[in-house]
Structure 1
Amino acid sequence: MIHQIMIKKVQLTFFYSIFFLLIQTANANANLAYQESASDVIMNTLQTQSKQPFLKELYKHLFFIPVWMHNTELSTAGQELFEIIKKDETLDKNGRLYRNASKLETQVNGIYAGQATVTQKMDLEFKISQLYEAYTNYTYFGSINWGAFNARIANLMVNDVNTEWILHRPKAEPIAMIERAVFGGSLTEEFTEAMPRKYNYQALQQELIKYRNIQKNGGWLPVVIKGILKKNTRQKGVTSLRERLRITRDYVPCENSTEGFLYNKCLQKAVKHFQKRNGLHVDGEVGPGTLRVLNKSVEERITAILLNLDRIKWLKQRTSKRHVIINIPDFMLYFEEDGKLRQSIKTVVGTPKNPTPIFSNDVKTIVLNPYWNLPKSIIQKEMIPQLLKNKNAMTKQGIEIREGWAKDAKLVDPWSVDWAAYENAKHMPFRFAQVPGPKNALGRVKFLFPNKYAVYMHDTPAKSLFNKNKRAYSHGCIRLHKPRELLKTFASFNSNLDYEKSKNILKGKDKTYYSLKETVPVDVVYLTAWVDYDGQIQFRNDIYNYDKMQLKSFKKW
């Protein structure tokens, strides 16, 4: 170890000489002596700091030179760090991280105002590095304990609920960032560059600031409405409703509109705006459902924003020309092109007992007039119980039963099988396939993006479900309200996919595959708070209780 340190010191002496020659400092000799002493302290201290892996890794990459505490003043990177934290309005000013930064800055000013030893300066050096580590963790990795959350999801399997949330680790590299900043770069620019660009992340940050300001001003009082408030009726609670909507800027006074107890057209317009922002049925009436959401506290809204900011950090940051986003709590699909919304389509997603997984891939294949090959879970949970009651149950639904998966697999006579023997069997030797046609659960069009969950986007004969506000009814797949419109969109940039020809194929029953020349990334996400394409803050219900699970181990800074 001593030999290694001596080699390091020789390397450091050479490095310092070159470094200070480049910056041409008048006090280069004094600074060089300080740097060598500081490096000795750093190396000696880190030999005994087995519980500080970040510090060891950081100073190893930086040749054990001090990053923050220079000889006579705080380094440029150090000044930038304190300034960045002070200006970060998303940080809780009463939180531990912000208070720690303020305390450290005061200590630094005190150190340089008096006479301090190298050891004292290096003590602060380490503390600022730990502050930097904490702040980058807050900024880029967030507060969600993903290990604990995934363990909770795994525990759902006890109740026969099987799902997954695939993570994409943020690309920010705190040590590389400070390394570039120290050697001629800017820490401010490094932080800006590492910020998420997708999902209107920065706009959501601004909403967090707005809601924190609302909180500072006292939030909002509960709205008290008796029964269902309808247009042109009078109640005392109308005044509290108007003020509640004024605070969140849903209500804007109309010209020649009075503000008494009358629930007038102007206030109803504000209620509809609020309902739309919160995924409620937009009817302009204030009933129990709308009232419940109106009376969510500002603290609840702040928590939702913080939680979803952290979710965005762990989503795949796409740079492709086109992008499909399916937001489960919103029951919507969004097709982006060049960063702008090209198309939006209603969806039906998995039930809480059959949740749609959160994952990413690329739409590579489109199938017209698809067969529906039923998964083993649905065969055992739903089809076999039906067969035990009625051997002709599958025939009525247009479902063929075959001996296996070979192309020439023979049809099975349902009367010849003891179905009770397969209800809980580990192996299912039969293939259940619903033939193309009006009864097919996949409808007429299927969009494939390879994944281990057998989840895809598809048409559906159950169109009435799209009239509902909450649409969690599937076994996990994503049903589309207007799949032909999405087919037309894909055809517009895939030369081998002729939309007019496809419409003729869809009139028949022949299964047809199209391998896309231009594939499109698709991300299935779970956001209960976000900023939409019109710049409006949106909130949705936590349909799978993922908010609650993640908040159980949500770190406070």
Structure 2
Amino acid sequence: MNINRYRSIISLLFVVALFICACNQEAKKPARKKAKKHWDNTIPGSFSQQVDLKLDSNQVDSFFTHYPDLKAYGDQVKSFYRNRQFAYAWYENGQVIEQANNLANRVMNLENDGVYKQIPYKKTLDSLLNGAGAKSKSTKPDLTLDLMLTSQYFAFAKMVYDGEDASVSKANGWNVPRKKVNYNQYLDSLLKKPAKQQADEPVYRQYDLLKSFLKKYRALDTAEKWLPITTKKLKTGDSSLAVKQVKRRLYLLEDYKGDTLSSKYDTSLKAAVKIFQRRNGLAASGAVDAGTLAAMNVPLKTRIMQILVNMERSRWLPVTISGDYLAVNIPEFQLHVYHADSLLWNCNVVVGQTTHPTTIFSGDIKYVVFSPYWNVPPSIVRNEVLPGIKRNSNYLSAHRMEITSKEDGLPVVRQKPGEANSLGLVKFLFPNSYNIYLHDTPSKSLFGETSRAFSHGCIRVLEPAKLANFLLADSAKWSPATIKKAMHAGKEQYITLKKKVPVFIAYFTAFTDRDNRLNFRKDIYNLDDRLAATLISGQIAAK
């Protein structure tokens, strides 16, 4: 080949490569917006609109007599067909519609949705579909296939969208009310969608985002041995074989995009290490220390199971929420403030110790309390205050505490308002039986720790004044100045919110952030393994 022509081809390929790279970068930008869930290659939402071919309720009953393992979905199937005046749903012009095969693809590959179970009569569905595909247009539609597809949809919805039943979530400490979706209405609405309109899946957005990483991590696990990297601390300027190993590992994890052949710890690797550290909840020093190396060496199978466990938790949450709400992710030690699905701001929090874990539940913030008293819990009175009084007769005055009465053989103790008060200068109440709330704290230094499980169960907020301003934004009486004055007044003042604000105390050890990066956090309350055992075995694991 002529050398000039060869160079021209190489130059052209280089330009094309740059263009593709640029397009890929642009394609990543929408990931920061709300994740839109499409049933691409699943059930695209344009179903049969025919009304002439019909079945009757007796035929539905007969179907479930022959396929008893689907009988649990009988009422939903009947209601669905009743709403369609018993018209066939999966046939058009004598042919099975495309969506039938798309549903079957999801049913046949439940592991892609993080489900270990198998839907009943999977082989029967496959056989019926193959038979329908072999028939001509003049062949009468198969009643059994139509009923099988509809029944399989409801079975699929139960496993993929609802997940394990409420007994499992409750046994795993999840007290947030489970979402409620009418899957009968949902499927019916899909059937009525315009041909080109696609539908969102009825599941919290983190589910779909985690699902995409499940596929990536399974592919990595198949292709890579993931041997442990062993080295002493690495920092900028170092050069060694371990540096090359770190570069390759971070390249595979999509944190690093530079040269993996060089053994020098350069600035681009430092930046990549910081990204990795942030998404693993570590101090972003840019140096590979013991904690960072341990996170890099976590086996891929462990990470895959972590993703699966948190996909399951995502199934339990409401699909979407309108208006303002707060969310605390316990393992992340973060408070997130939202309007609908838009993150407004977030800040560090301190949560309960492993011996005094913060409860996973939800409520509605109803009160903001400025300059609060702290009513000392009986357990703290018994275990800390009374021994303190025995050691020092001035214990109460030194801690600005007072005894107000006696109850069940114990003194009732409260701490006076002020900057030294354990609740700080403001607290946020959402009445609940767990006696947990959000509050300020005088111990500000703890917010600088990477692991912040220090409280007796309540949640300490780094930016309480900002939260108070957010919650009282619709009140003309309250401004940053008046809020600051009330916080330092030294006199307790209850403010009832005009509109209660939902708050969710959740537990996710794997999640995607607003930059579409997969994050992992330590399972501080040891809840992941138990749920994983349930997902695999189908039996609620013992504590």
TM class by smaller structure: 0.7 to 0.9
Quote how far apart the aligned CAs of 1:307 are.
1.7
- Contact 1:80–1:188 (CA under 8 A) maintained in structure 2: no
Q: Are 1:347 and 1:480, in contact at CA under 8 Å, matched by a contact in 2? A: yes
The correspondence for 1:90, drawn from 107, 112, 115, is 112
CA distance in 1, matches of 2:363, 2:117: 39
Residue in 2 that maps onto 1:174 = 183
Asked if 1:401 corresponds to 2:406, the answer is: no
Q: Which residue in 2 is equivalent to 1:327?
A: 329
2:202 pairs, out of 195, 203, 211, with 195
Alpha-carbon distance in structure 2 between the residues aligned to 1:352 and 1:24: 60
Does the aligned pair in 1 maintain the 2:50–2:88 contact within 8 Å? no
- Residue 380, structure 1, aligned to residue 366, structure 2: no
How far does residue 226 in structure 1 lie from its aligned partner after superposition? 2.1
Query: Residues 75 and 232 (structure 1 numbering): CA distance in 2 closer, same or farther, change over 3 Å?
Result: closer
User: In 1, Cα distance between the equivalents of 2:298 and 2:119?
Assistant: 27
Structure 1 contact 494–518 (Cα < 8 Å) conserved? no
Task: Name the counterpart of 1:140.
Answer: 161
Cα distance in 2, alignment partners of residues 450 and 489 from structure 1:
19
Task: Tell me, yes or no, if structure 1 residue 211 matches structure 2 residue 192.
Answer: no
2:174 matched to 1:165?
yes
Does residue 483 of the first structure (1) align with residue 505 of the second (2)? no
Per-residue CA deviations over 1:447-470 (Å, capped at 9, x if unaligned) read 112211111111111111112110
- What secondary structure, in the 3-state scheme, does the structure 2 residue paired with 1:521 have? strand
Q: Which moved more, 1:47-56 or 1:506-515?
A: 47-56
* 1:220–1:298 CA contact under 8 A, matched in 2: no
1:264 equivalent in alignment to 2:266: yes
Distance between the aligned counterparts of 1:287 and 1:515, measured in 2?
48
Separation in 2, partners of 1:96, 1:186? 33
What residue identity is the alignment partner of 2:100? G
- Residue 507 in 1 paired to residue 507 in 2? no
Match of 2:75 in 1: 57
SS in structure 1 at match of 2:402 = strand
Structure 1 counterpart of 2:237, one-letter code? N
Amino acid at match of 1:229: L
1:359: Cα distance to partner? Answer: 1.5
Identify which of 93, 104, 128 aligns with 2:125. 104
Match of residue 430 from structure 1: 411
> Do residues 527 (structure 1) and 508 (structure 2) align?
yes
- In structure 2, relative to structure 1, the CA distance for the partners of 1:491 and 1:112 (3 Å cut) is closer
Which of 419, 423, 435 is matched with 1:454 structurally? 435
Alignment partners' CA distance in 2, 1:491 and 1:114: 66
Alpha-carbon distance change, 225 to 187 in structure 1, aligned in 2, over 3 angstroms: farther
Q: Deviations over 1:139-196 (max 9, x none)?
A: 2112x46524533x5xxxxxxxxxx4213333333333345556x5589979x34423
| Residues in 2 aligned to 1:492 and 1:60: alpha-carbon distance in whole angstroms | 49
- In the TM superposition, what is the alpha-carbon distance from 1:227 to its structure 2 partner? 1.8
- After superposition, the Cα gap between the structure-2 partners of 1:304 and 1:189, relative to the gap in structure 1 and judged at 3 Å, is farther
Please point out which of 235, 241, 248 is paired with 2:240. 235
Aligned to 1:442: 423
Task: Tell me the residue number matched to 2:313.
Answer: 311
- SS of the residue corresponding to residue 360 of structure 2 reads coil
1:500 and 1:311, CA in 2 relative to 1: closer, same or farther beyond 3 A? same
SS at match of 2:277: helix
Match of 2:229 in 1: 224
Pairing partner for 1:536 from 498, 517, 532: 517
Distance of 1:301 and 1:106 partners within structure 2: 36
Counterparts of 1:122 and 1:435, CA distance in 2: 74
Deviation at 1:491, TM superposition (A): 4.0
Q: Secondary structure at the match of 2:534?
A: coil
Aligned residue for 2:349, secondary structure, equals strand
Secondary structure, counterpart of 1:263 in structure 2: coil
In structure 2, the residue matched to 1:150 is: 170
Question: Residues 55, 459 of structure 1: CA spacing in aligned structure 2 closer, same or farther, 3 A cutoff?
Answer: closer
The residue that corresponds to 2:253 in the other structure is 248
The share of aligned pairs that are identical, in percent, is 29
- Across the aligned residues of Structure 1 and Structure 2, the Cα RMSD in angstroms comes to 3.6
Residue identity in the other structure for 1:212:
R
Q: Secondary structure at the match of 1:551?
A: helix
Equivalence for 1:370: 372
- Return closer, same or farther for 1:379/1:291 CA change in 2, 3 Å cut-off: same
Decide which moves more: 523-532 or 227-236.
Answer: 227-236
SS in 2 for 1:312: helix
Q: Is the 8 A contact 2:469 2:483 kept in 1?
A: no
- Unpaired runs of at least 5, structure 2: 1-48, 539-543
Q: Quote the offset at 1:363 in angstroms.
A: 2.0
> After alignment, is 463-472 or 382-391 more displaced?
382-391
Q: Supply the distance in 2 between the matched residues of 1:92 and 1:352 (Cα, whole angstroms).
A: 29
The CA deviation at 1:70 is 9.3
Q: Write the distance in 2 (CA, Å) between the matches of 1:508 and 1:185.
A: 58
Shift of 1:346: 0.8
Q: How far does residue 430 in structure 1 lie from its aligned partner after superposition?
A: 3.3
Question: Are the aligned partners of 2:50 and 2:87 in contact in 1 as well (CA < 8 Å)?
Answer: no
- For 1:494 and 1:556, the matched residues in 2 are separated by 52
The change in CA–CA distance for 1:535 and 1:48 in structure 2 (over 3 A counts) is: closer
For 1:289 and 1:393, locate their aligned partners in 2 and report how far apart those are by CA, in whole Å.
Answer: 40
Structure 1 distance, partners of 2:486, 2:100, is 66
Separation in structure 1 between the aligned mates of residue 497 and residue 529 of structure 2, nearest angstrom: 39
C-alpha deviation, 1:79, in angstroms: 4.3
Q: Report the CA distance between 1:480 and its aligned residue.
A: 1.2
Cα deviations across residues 194-220 of structure 1 (Å, max 9, x unaligned)? 42355x44333333333333334x136
Q: Secondary structure at the residue paired with 1:549? A: helix
Distance 2:60 2:473 in 1: 61
Q: Give a deviation string over 1:430-486, Cα, whole Å, max 9, x none.
A: 321000123210011111122111111111111111121100010110001221222
Q: Are the equivalent residues in 2 in contact too, given 1:361–1:450 (CA < 8 A)?
A: yes
> What residue in structure 2 maps to residue 553 of structure 1?
534
Alpha-carbon distance between aligned partners in 2 of 1:474 and 1:506, rounded to the nearest angstrom: 22
The answer to whether the 8 Å contact 2:378/2:410 transfers is no
- The residue type equivalent to 1:314 in the other structure is W
In the aligned structure 2, how far is the partner of 1:187 from the partner of 1:550?
Answer: 40
- Structure 1: 5+ residue stretches without partners: 1-21, 26-30, 154-163, 405-421
Change in Cα spacing, 1:224 to 1:112, as seen in structure 2 (3 Å) is closer
SS of alignment partner, residue 554 of structure 1: helix
Q: Distance in 2 between matches of 1:488 and 1:366?
A: 10
Q: What amino acid sits opposite 1:242 in the alignment?
A: K
Q: Please tell me the residue identity of whatever aligns with 2:179.
A: P
Report the TM-score, using the length of structure 2 for normalisation: 0.78
Tell me how far 1:534 sits from its aligned partner. Answer: 2.4
Which residue identity is paired with 2:131?
G
2:357 aligned with 1:351:
no
Contact 1:325-1:334 within 8 A present in 2 as well: yes
Larger Rg: 1
Aligned counterpart in structure 2 of residue 74 of structure 1, from 93, 96, 117 = 96
Determine the C-alpha separation between the residues in 1 that align with 2:299 and 2:123: 30
Q: Deviations over 1:57-85 (max 9, x none)?
A: 13432358765589954367634523555
Provide the rounded CA distance (Å) in 1 between the counterparts of 2:220 and 2:357. 35
How many residues were matched structurally? 484
Q: Is the 8 A contact 1:181 1:187 kept in 2?
A: no
Aligned to 1:165, the other structure's residue is in SS state: coil
